[in-house]
Structure 1
Amino acid sequence: MLIVVLVVLAVFLAGAILWWRSMAATQRTLNARDPELAVVVAQIRERQTALAEPTLGLVPADKPGFSKLGGRPDLPAGVAHPQGERGARKFLAQLDLAEVGAAGGPDWLPDTGRIYAFYDDWRHGFSDVVTILHDGLDAAAAATEGEAAFPERRVGFEAGRSGPSIDWLGVDYRGLGGWVEDLLTPEPEGPAHRGGGYPDEIQEDRFPLLCEHMVRGLPDPDYGGEVPPDIERAAEDWRLLLQVDSDSDLKMNFGDGGRLYVFIRRSDARRGEFGKAVGAWHTY
């Protein structure tokens, strides 16, 4: 009996998917007859292309260096492991900024130094869910003592380009019909650990506004409401510093297979003021 139910369910889901695709294709055909809508869609595509920036995938390293995910942090002497609400924060990642620059990373990062990311899941919903430390002197570093929260993976960098999603741009896509599918950024295959550019959103937050509201101590923004001009301008400076995905090999899981994001103003990053970074996460 259970097998029959599962077969019926599978057939139903397959039919629903085919119906949705058919409806989207039909809507796109209707929209194609609307020259004004076609112009709007073309303008959105142009914005996405024009605003694209370098991003670096954090991939397993061929020749292990300093940069890594998980394990224990290699901190300079005298730098303490950050504490959270209930003990030591979980170490997520460390990146050598010289390696990042040599791989073609964002030009708003310093050319030298190292950054470290620590996570406190008890701070979910707060801007300091991730703490970033910055060592700008390249002092000698050594692994700290204690048990690692996650297995270690030394990483290298895979250069790419990253454009903003329609959520990031604040596009109201309710009137775009089937064209929306063409404007969506593709969902990454497998864990998407990377730095620079724009995030792979799971939910429909408009992250630039969310970050700006966080640092100003304002309530979560009304994404459908009117944005004050000063906040709109200030929000344009925010970029993705680090994205850490749920990864079974690293025993990382954020919510229900979600992603953890760290954002920073490009102007703050250029000055090495990484303490002003803010964190957020999305889950399914």
Structure 2
Amino acid sequence: MLRPALRLVHAGEGDPVIAQLGGLPTLPINSWPGWDGHGPLSHVLSFDCAPVAELLPELGIPHDGRLAFFYFDGAYDDYQSTVGTWDPSTSPGFRVLHLHPENSTRAHITDAATPVPPGLTPFPPIALTAIRTLTWPAHETPMAEVVWMKHGLVEEEGARPSEPVRALYDALWKLPGGGYDTHQIGGHPCPQQGPVEMEVEQLRRGLASETFAWDHPEVQSAASTWQLLLQVASDDAADMMWGDVGQLYYLVSDPERPGEALFTWQCG
């Protein structure tokens, strides 16, 4: 169940820059995403696909172009609007753009930046470098629960994993790069509440006008197919605060089509 991932940390002098947190993206003319009736989305993070695909081939994203991630954090309309998987009508409040090669691979993070829409204050730009690491599913995710049940590793009341499972997780958290509050490409998400895969499946079914039940086996099986594309933590240096020190999650059902990613967020 272990999956490799890229932890993204603030780049120091001489570090290879893999991603840009905040700042201004490079976009085609008149393509800055917005939410009708609410306002423009904020640019959260961008990265070139080629170096990420080389560092993390297991993720399976395209090798060409650049991915730009956007989110309506509420600052533009004085926090009158909230994006949430429980309300599919708010889905225009997030976007992932897969930009063509001519809009990628800038020499510096400030080159050829697209001007910010009027009234929107961009996050400060932060250069990020990558550290390859291992991740694991939270014990309450549908994927993990199937394994624990199959091998009899759930306590009798069924509310929590058994002692061997808890010992396994204690050991995993001691691995280098483990922990919450991290920017991350690929791997398993670090939830702050419940399984983010279930929340994204809730949104998918809502958009398709399909029924959703948290405890339905079909829903749980479908949720297990979602793959984390990007996790963005709250970051003081970038003036990013997602609720109460929360995190953003962009997940895909097919990594080869990152522009179809769905979104959720959590805070502890």
Bin for the TM-score computed over the shorter chain: 0.7 to 0.9
Distance 1:58 1:105, change over 3 A: farther
Q: Distance in 2 between matches of 1:52 and 1:79?
A: 41
AA matched with 1:78:
I
> 170, 186, 198: which one pairs with 2:173?
186
Select 2:124's aligned residue among 144, 147, 151. Answer: 151
Cα 1:131/1:175, change in 2 over 3 Å: closer
Matches within 5 A, 1:258-269: 258-265=246-253, 267=254, 269=255
Residue identity opposite 2:40 in structure 1? A
Q: Paired residue for 2:205?
A: 216
Which structure has the larger Rg?
1
Deviation at 1:58, TM superposition (A): 1.2
Structure 2: gaps of 5 or more residues: 74-80, 107-111, 146-153
Structure 1 gaps of 5+ residues are 1-50
| Larger helix proportion of the pair | 1
**1:137 matched residue in structure 2:** 101
- 8 Å CA contact 1:91–1:117 kept in 2: the answer is yes
Q: Cα 1:101–1:170, aligned 2, differ >3 Å: closer, same or farther?
A: closer
TM-score (norm. length: structure 1)? 0.69
Aligned-residue sequence identity (percent) comes to: 27
Match in the other structure for 1:201 = 191
What secondary structure, in the 3-state scheme, does the structure 1 residue paired with 2:5 have?
A: strand
CA distance in 2, matches of 1:175, 1:123: 32
Residue aligned with 1:74, SS: coil
Output the amino acid matched with 1:221.
A
Could you tell me which residue of structure 1 aligns to residue 159 of structure 2? 174
Give 1:163's aligned amino acid: W
CA shift in 2, pair 1:202/1:277, >3 Å = same
Distance 1:177 1:206 in 2: 19
* Counterpart for residue 265 of structure 2: 281
* Map 1:1-284 → 2, pairs under 5 A: 51-61=1-11, 62-63=14-15, 65=17, 67-75=19-27, 77-78=28-29, 80-84=31-35, 85-121=37-73, 122-126=81-85, 128=91, 129-139=93-103, 142-146=112-116, 148-168=121-141, 169=143, 171=145, 174=159, 176=161, 178-179=163-164, 181-184=166-169, 186=173, 188=178, 191-203=181-193, 205-217=194-206, 218=210, 221-222=213-214, 225-228=215-218, 231-265=219-253, 267=254, 269-270=255-256, 272=257, 274-284=258-268
Preserved contact between residue 170 and residue 206 of structure 1 (Cα < 8 Å): no
1:219 CA drift (Å): 5.8
Shift of 1:125: 1.1
The AA in structure 1 aligned to 2:261 is A
Task: Give the Cα separation in 2 of the matches to 1:79 and 1:114.
Answer: 17
Offset, 1:181: 3.0
DSSP-derived class of the 2:24 partner: coil
Q: State the 1:88 CA deviation.
A: 1.2
Call closer, same or farther: CA 1:66–1:226 in 2, change over 3 Å: closer
Q: CA RMSD in A?
A: 2.7
Superposition deviation, residue 66 in structure 1: 6.7
Partner SS state of residue 98, structure 1: helix
Q: How many matched pairs? A: 224
CA distance in 2, matches of 1:119, 1:199: 18
Q: CA deviation at 1:259?
A: 0.9
Q: 1:278 to 1:130 in 2, by over 3 A?
A: same
CA distance in 2: counterparts of 1:175 and 1:233, whole angstroms: 20
SS at 1:100's partner residue? helix
Q: What do residues 197-240 of structure 1 show as CA deviations (whole Å, max 9, x unaligned)?
A: 1101111x233333223212246532xx3313xx4443332111
* Deviating more after overlay: 274-283 vs 239-248: 274-283
1-side partners of 2:237 and 2:229: how far apart?
Answer: 23
